[in-house]
Amino acid sequence: MAARSVPYVALKPAAKSFVAHASDRLPLKSTPINPDWIISGNPEARTAEHSRGQDEASLTAIWDCTAGEFRWHFGWDETVMILEGEVHITAEDGTERTLCPGDVAFFAGGTWASWRVDTYVRKVAFLRKPFPKPLAIAYRLRNMLRNGGSQGIAA
């Protein structure tokens, strides 16, 4: 018993180290868009969670949506890759872009963007919970020290 340094009850179950699915075979569940965000139409969104990081700070999901226009708030940093269809994006700064299959885009946590879906869009979304600013600065400082000062620490 002396070899056990952590009580059994404190041990977490082993997490999956590899997860793979066909993106078109994950069961999508209805995830209605906040009605206050809808600008026009009746967009219907669905989501299928693919995987989560062990620390619960990252998530990968498949998301799709039918025609409509809406504003979207990104609570987490989100990188998307369009799998099917297209979406017209207008960012907070007025930047406009149409995303088509194969396109990749990043949305910073805490920001808004307008989405216009003319017929249908399906994407894979990689989400990461942003670090609090003091922790992000400490993390960058650690990386800078590890890399011999070749990175800045600006937040």
What is the CATH classification number for the domain harbouring 45?
A: 2.60.120.10
The per-residue pLDDT for 7 is: 42
How far is it, in rounded angstroms, from Cα 122 to Cα 117? 10
Whether pLDDT at 152 is above 70: no
- In which band, very low, low, confident or very high, does the pLDDT at 20 lie, cut at 50, 70 and 90? confident
Residue 21 counted as domain residue: no
Residue 92 counted as domain residue: yes
Over the stretch 21-68, which tens digit does the pLDDT of each residue have?
777 889 999 999 999 999 999 999 999 999 988 888 899 999 999 999
Higher pLDDT, 65 or 20: 65
The per-residue pLDDT for 14 is: 52
Residue 117 counted as domain residue: yes
Residues 6+ apart with CB under 8 A from 120: 64, 65, 66, 67, 84, 85
Rounded to two decimals, the pTM is 0.77
Whether pLDDT at 79 is above 50: yes
What are the structure tokens assigned to 54, written together?
């062990």
80's enclosing H/E stretch is: strand 77-85
**Percent of the residues in the chain that have a pLDDT greater than 90, as a whole number:** 62
The per-residue pLDDT for 147 is: 83
Mean pLDDT of 67-81: 97
Count of structural domains within the chain: 1
Enclosing domain of residue 36? 29-147
Q: By the 8 A CB rule, do 95 and 34 touch?
A: no
Residue 10 counted as domain residue: no
Over the stretch 107-136, which tens digit does the pLDDT of each residue have?
999 999 999 999 999 999 999 998 777 877
Residue 6 counted as domain residue: no
b (16+ CB within 10 A) / e for 71-86: bbebebbbebebbebb
